[in-house]
A and B are shown apart, each in its own frame.
Chain A
Amino acid sequence: MKKYINKLVLLAVIIMVPAMSFSQYCNYFHSKYCLQSENEMFKLNGQSKSALFSKGQTSELQIIVYNKQDYRISVCMDENLGSQVKFKIYETKKVKVEKVIETKSMEEEVESCGTCNGTGEADGEECYDCEGVGERTTGNEVEVISKETKIVVEKQKQLLYDNSEDGFSNEIEFTVESTRRLTLEITVPGGGGGDATTKKRGKLMKSSDMGCVGILVEHMTTPVSGFYGSGF
Chain B
Amino acid sequence: MKKQSKLILAFLVGFPLVFLTSCGGDVHVEEAIEDVVEEVEEGNQTYYRIPSPDEMFGFIKESGLAFNGELLNPIQNAVNYSDPKMQALNFGVYSADLAYTAAYEEFNETTKYFATIQKMSESIGLSSAFDKTLIERAQANLDNADSLVEITNTSYFAVVDYLEQNEQGDKLGLIASAGWLETIYVVVNTTNYATDKTAVDRLADQKLALDNLLDYLEEYKDNQDVAELLGWFNELETVFASLPEEEDSGSGISFKKKESGKMVLGGGSSISISEEQFNAIRDKVNEIRNNIVKVEA
Contact = CB atoms under 8 A, between A and B. Distances in A.
Nearest to A18: B36
Interface residues of A, number: 69
B47 A61 contact: yes
A62 B213 CA distance: 10
A58 interface: yes
Contacts of A3: none
Interface in A70-92: 89, 91
Contact of B212 (A62, A69, A204): A62
B39 A202 contact: yes
B165 A175 contact: no
Nearest to A196: B44
Given A19-B38, A46-B160, A60 B212 contact: no
Given A15-B33, A205-B40, A64 B12 contact: no
B212 A8 contact: no
B23 interface: yes
Interface stretch (A23-31, A105-113, A124-132, A142-150): A23-31
Interface in B196-241: 198, 201-202, 205, 208-209, 211-212, 215
B264 interface: yes
A52 B47 CA distance: 12
Interface residues of B, number: 66
Contacts of A219: 55
B205 A160 contact: no
A11 B51 contact: no
B95 to A, nearest CB: 11
A151 to B, nearest CB: 12
Given A46-B160, A204-B37, A175 B153 contact: no
Contacts of B51: 45-47, 63-64, 66
Contacts of A11: 12, 16, 29
Interface of A: 5, 8-9, 11-12, 14-16, 18-19, 22-24, 27-28, 44-47, 49, 51-52, 54, 57-69, 89, 91, 93-94, 158, 160-161, 172-181, 196-208, 210, 219, 221
Given A62-B212, A175-B262, 16 more contacts: A15-B32, A22-B38, A23-B165, A52-B40, A54-B42, A91-B253, A176-B264, A177-B265, A177-B266, A177-B267, A178-B269, A179-B271, A180-B208, A197-B43, A204-B38, A205-B38
28 contacts: A5-B12, A8-B9, A11-B29, A19-B36, A46-B49, A47-B50, A54-B42, A58-B44, A60-B44, A62-B212, A64-B49, A64-B50, A66-B51, A89-B255, A91-B268, A158-B253, A160-B265, A173-B262, A174-B255, A174-B263, A175-B262, A178-B266, A180-B268, A196-B44, A199-B42, A203-B40, A205-B38, A205-B40
Closest 10 CB pairs of A and B: A46-B52, A177-B266, A47-B49, A179-B205, A199-B43, A174-B263, A207-B36, A8-B12, A181-B208, A59-B45
